[in-house]
Structure 1
């Protein structure tokens, strides 16, 4: 009974403190002047002029070389920086609100093979966690289910919406497969044993392969006998219309995935995590397989690995020609997603060019998701999904947003965290003045 009361109170608190009202559709025109524009494709305009109209970027140019009439509201961003909206890849944003409250946890389904599960219909647009992403410039997210051998389908959302229908940018962009682990550690978390080859690895790979081959055969059959929802859900991915995301780490596991991809003519494979992927970079490049590199702010995967391997891993891949974006799965992943700009900043701090590091959280993710026609960079004709920062947005000290827009809508940058900040700053300011 006590547990039930706690759950009811928690749910009431979540409802009572829901996200603020989403911004209305753009009606006027905005002209951003004098900012340094980081295009997202590697280019920079030191003194830019950007015109936002009807939700689109209708003009972007160097203000020192192009004369342009100022339309609508002039936003003087002198000394500031403009960036495309940051994209949080492989996230569970909006699927869990409070881990300890089961009723707010909808990130996974029971069962092993769930390709028919769609994360988008479980997405909570009023999540307080989602709200806290925007003040750091994270404006778009790929929402991914977890669990099982095949978790289900992910979708792409913008982070200022009334409901999942309003939020959706692209629904069902791909299937997520958790490739069997080729190595495992015996013992417990208190007394871990040695890392050894998994005894059931070959059996698990065979089972997964048989399932996918059956789905492929089902999709190729004009009039299959009976309806199999799980097989049918894999049709677009097996036919090459959607991505297949293989969550896999380790050299052997990645090589086995590439063997499977080649044998089954998988057209749009993506490696997620990909630790030790630098050892098979040549094969990844030859097969045009992008990698969502595992969380940058993490510990080394092996005892004999360089202490800074997570920091420099994306650059190691990129230097060898692999298309790389950043992802964030792991402990406290929903709350940590606000750190995406700082992941890119850490990569830049370990040798990567700053603008190329920015691409790993903007244009490259957009290309992998198939939304780069409208998102991922500051270009004429694309969606006006961008933000203005006082300083370098990839640096914690400079990431101070003044304005942000999603599809031209002037969105709120307030959150529970900003309210607490203002409350206690006022408190301490009053004490200092005494």
Structure 2
């Protein structure tokens, strides 16, 4: 199937061809026809599956179809489509995709988020925006200041809904939805469909079509996963060794804390490896510049806290490193989902110490398989990381099966009695004391 069979118009198809897009992905094949038909949808799809295009392309098509008969100057200056996202990075990424897909259309878009001067954003809203990509907090601020109105809004997209709920945006989302017109099309995209996400969908979406695309992208063979067990004190030295000996050209390195990110950059630089770090403590301008330099190849090794786990789209990133394993399995899935995107192959490496065993068990249970372990003789481990809990479960299940079979074989067979003299005799003395509950006649 090609994009042309999805009934997209010529300007959009030309933009896709310019970008080198040939065939739609599974989520695009399933979602786009439903969106074009005006249906509400709930879609479960992992990062790297092309989900952004699955709602942006039909959204552009619908706006383009409505605008063909309308003079551009007479459209008005109200927002027609609102896309809510959890982070500033994702807002920037989604808006960039809209600009690419709509470059042959007269449709305007804007990314709006906190951490930057609001005055420039207000001015853009005055000029008029067709598609607004926004984080919930800044959107509510603007609404309270009466800088934007939703009376002509036709479409609402909740992107990465699970992440927005994890970040505590549920109250903001509910307040935003209360301001929107009741007659609108609703699209919800989420990596996981939890009970909380279903609760949000129930309040927001009317009779949706549900779409689910395969298993977690982490379990797909396009991402080669392996780990190295290491003592915590040797992690930075091991990372430097791997960068040098494995000939790594570029890597996104995930770590849990801001302090740890700055410390790791310093340790790498002492070993002659240039690196930068990105986390919530750095200004928005600096973060955007670092991401731009990383995408262009100026920065080879970027140490990031979880803030970059979602919303960072680097087309040819071949390697992700988990310097620290995350506490939540979904975070691991989204971290390694930064590589192996759009059908490309990728590699995900984790440095695991003994105190990460609990997180490792949870991750391997979700994946349904044991992650390959590699050893490096230069870094012998003093505190051994136990084998996966999956091994224990497998062995215990086999042991329980053997014990049950053995117990059954040893247990005496139940006695069976035939009518007649072989029946057990009742002690007559005891029988005499047994009283019938019924009165004697």
Q: Same fold, TM exceeding 0.5?
A: no
Q: Comparing both structures, which one devotes a greater share of its residues to strand?
A: 1
What is the TM-score normalised by the length of structure 2? Answer: 0.24
Determine which structure has greater relative contact order: mean sequence separation of CA pairs < 8 Å that are 6+ residues apart, divided by chain length.
1
TM-score, scaled relative to structure 1: 0.24
Highest Rg: 1 or 2?
A: 2
